[in-house]
Amino acid sequence: MSDSADEILLESSCVATLKSTTRITPETTDEVRQLILQIDEPSFRYAAGQSIGVLVPGPHQFGNEFHHRRYSIANPVETGASQNVELELLVRRCFYLDEISGEQYPGIASNYLCDAKVGDKIKITGPYKSPFKIPTDTSSNLLMIGTGTGIAPFRAFVRQIYDQHAGWKGDVRLFYGDRGGMNLLYMNDQQKDLTQFYDDQTFKAFSVLTDRPLTGAEQGLQESLQAHIDECARLIRDPNTYIYLAGQDKAAEVFDKVMAETFGSADAWDKAKSDLVELGRWAELLYH
């Protein structure tokens, strides 16, 4: 990032205060934290599924003043008379292995946020446009597929359509996978997690946490999809269904693999997916 790029980001940033930070996974597995950021700026506006950028102060590699990393907002738009805006983030503490030296290095932004203390000031940018849009027709079906902290935009999505759209008439389905030992990342808040919608006739979640050695979150997603493939295929073939995919790139690879088997071939699935994209019924938010 050049000096001019640093300056542009800094000029467009605002300051958020860390209101709370809570580990929501067991000590025996990957650390994922729920962070609540408070912005004392009532004009700040965001929509469900959008993301913000976090500016980590340096200096960093190549002399950059800041390291910039985006995170999906995990809570819906709050309504009320409060002058403060609160944003919820789900952050997994990441480490990267240098393939040449074999040394392990901490992820810059994730460790910065996981180490932050209540009251710390954090510079943020955005919010940024989301590829996920809530259909105007409440009879539309919503099919959400995700892994790991890719669940964040879906948390905001589902809570918003049920809390602020007076219910949802179409089928809402969530297929989710992660590594064994993880708490389901949408079940970390008794007042706000998605399990409160299990009694709603239109909402169902299908989750698998895999605990086999050398398997990742995508394996859990694959098992979740395969166990309920008829339900997933039914929705994809329904012309009133919108599909949303979020998580690591491998989640997309797994979804494509399962769907190719379901549709009879990779070519048949590619054609079906191309039609969905062309009709505006497909959106994805993937990361490495």
Q: Which fold has domain 3-128?
A: Elongation Factor Tu (Ef-tu); domain 3 (2.40.30)
Answer whether residue 256 shows pLDDT above 60: yes
Residue-level pLDDT at 5: 59
Fold agreement (3-128, 141-287): no
Select 141-287's CATH number: 1.20.1070.10, 3.40.50.80, 1.20.1300.10, 1.20.120.1200: 3.40.50.80
Residue-level pLDDT at 200: 54
More confident site: 217 or 67: 67
Residue-level pLDDT at 197: 45
Residue-level pLDDT at 7: 64
Q: Quick one: tokens of 285?
A: 């938010």
* Cβ atoms of residues 43 and 23 within 8 Å: no
Residue-level pLDDT at 60: 79
Answer whether residue 214 shows pLDDT above 60: no
Specify the range with the lowest mean pLDDT, choosing from 4-8, 124-128, 177-181: 4-8
* Angstrom distance (rounded) from CA 143 to CA 160: 15
Specify the range with the lowest mean pLDDT, choosing from 93-97, 231-235, 266-270: 93-97
Band of residue 20 on the pLDDT scale cut at 50, 70, 90: very high
Specify the range with the lowest mean pLDDT, choosing from 101-110, 191-200, 251-260, 276-285: 191-200
pTM of the model: 0.72
Residue-level pLDDT at 192: 47
How high is the mean pLDDT of the chain?
82
Residue-level pLDDT at 218: 77
User: Which backbone phi and psi does 121 adopt, to 5 degrees?
Assistant: -95, 130
Q: Structural domain boundaries of the chain? A: 3-128, 141-287
Residue-level pLDDT at 158: 81
Beta strands in 129-188 (DSSP E): 141-147, 172-179
Q: Quick one: tokens of 193?
A: 């997690």
Element containing residue 168 per DSSP (H, E) = none
Residue-level pLDDT at 140: 95
Residue-level pLDDT at 47: 80
